[in-house]
Amino acid sequence: MRRCVVIGGADIGRYDRIRSRLRENDFYICCDSGLKHREELGITPDLIVGDFDSHENPHLETETITLPCEKDDTDTVFAVKEALTRGFQEFLLVGVIGGRLDHTLGNVSLLLMLDTRGKAAAAVDDYSEMEIVSSRPVQISDRYAFFSLLNISGTAQGIAIKNAKYPLCDAEITCEYQYGISNEVLPGQTAVVSVESGRLLLIKVWP
């Protein structure tokens, strides 16, 4: 099954980093002004969705879903839901972090939604790569400069961090006290993060 790459309209400065995460057989959905990234990313959209309030409809031969301007879902949320109906199991969100904070936080919550549905998902920006830690342990290589664990969904308990500068065992992180920021993988090792209950946002910061 192809991976679905959803491209939003947030600014991208390091296109090289984003391109390095793309695969030859990815399925690309451009959301409205996410169309502005297609040349720099070197991709051809397989599907375009949007209300075209921030980018004019290019009227390509590509399948296009035109949305109303007044709606409950943002263009990006609609794109993810549409991809789910088409059976995609793996997602990469690009151009969804930065600019307006409300859109950024809403897009981060998409990682929670996809995790709830048992889908593999990550979001990447110029500086980092994000994913949810929940039912399965997550490995982090030492190629990342730092990594942080943030609670964005309630209380997370039974947190363990191994092979890192600041290890944890049976710890708890709440939304009110975020102390899991700027950890480091020990040189030459692979850190492992797990949680017994709750979920955490893992942010891996590129050098």
| Residue 151: per-residue pLDDT | 95
For the 133-205 domain, the top CATH level (class) is mainly beta
Let me know: does 68 contact 85? Beta carbons within 8 Å.
no
**Assigned token pair, 190:** 């692979």
Return mean pLDDT, the chain: 93
Per-residue pLDDT tens over the stretch 76-124? 999 999 999 999 999 999 999 987 898 899 999 999 999 999 999 999 9
The whole-model pTM stands at 0.91
Q: Do domains 4-126 and 133-205 have the same CATH topology?
A: no
Q: What order do you get walking across the sheet with 27-31 strand by strand?
A: 63-66, 47-50, 27-31, 4-7, 90-94, 120-124, 128-133, 200-205, 146-150
At 58 the pLDDT is 72
* Domain ranges within the chain, ordered by starting residue: 4-126, 133-205
Question: Which helix or strand (DSSP H or E) is residue 203 part of?
Answer: strand 200-205
- What is the C-alpha separation between 113 and 121, in angstroms, rounded? 10
The phi and psi torsions of 13 (rounded to 5 degrees) equal -105, -35
Superfamily of domain 4-126: Thiamin pyrophosphokinase, catalytic domain (3.40.50.10240)
pLDDT at 54: 63
The number of C-alpha atoms within 13 Å of 159 and in the hemisphere containing its C-beta is 24
Q: Is 118 left (phi over 0), alpha (psi -120 to 50) or beta?
A: left
Residue labelled with tokens 């017994």: 196
pLDDT of residue 55: 63
Residue 75 neighbours by CB distance under 10 Å: 27
